[in-house]
Amino acid sequence: MPGFAWWKEKPSVMPRARKYPTELLDRATRLVFESGRPIAHVADDLGLPRETLRKYVRRVEVDTAGVRA
């Protein structure tokens, strides 16, 4: 029946927009690595949530061959 095939199609869902630009997160990550300052201090200075920066820093560490093991 032609009217019942609509549920089999996957809806086209757009990915969620990033709240913080990748450039800002990259800059903050570099500051954490180069300065040795705590993530919370860098996040506060740049107006980022601490947890957002912490997760991004951890992801970068894992992506760069597990710097933090």
Q: What is the pLDDT of residues 3-58, one digit of tens each?
A: 555 556 666 787 777 789 999 999 999 999 999 999 999 999 999 999 999 999 99
**Predicted local distance difference test score (pLDDT) of residue 64:** 86
**Predicted local distance difference test score (pLDDT) of residue 15:** 76
Query: Of the candidates 65, 53, 62, 63, which has an alpha carbon nearest to the alpha carbon of residue 26?
Result: 53
Label residue 69 by pLDDT band (50, 70, 90): very low
- How many Cα neighbours within 13 Å face the side chain of 41? 7
- Contact between 39 and 57 under an 8 Å Cβ cutoff? The reply is yes
Structure-model confidence comparison of residues 16 and 61, the more confident one = 61
> Taking the model in full, what pTM does it have?
0.70
Query: Of the candidates 45, 11, 12, which has an alpha carbon nearest to the alpha carbon of residue 28?
Result: 45
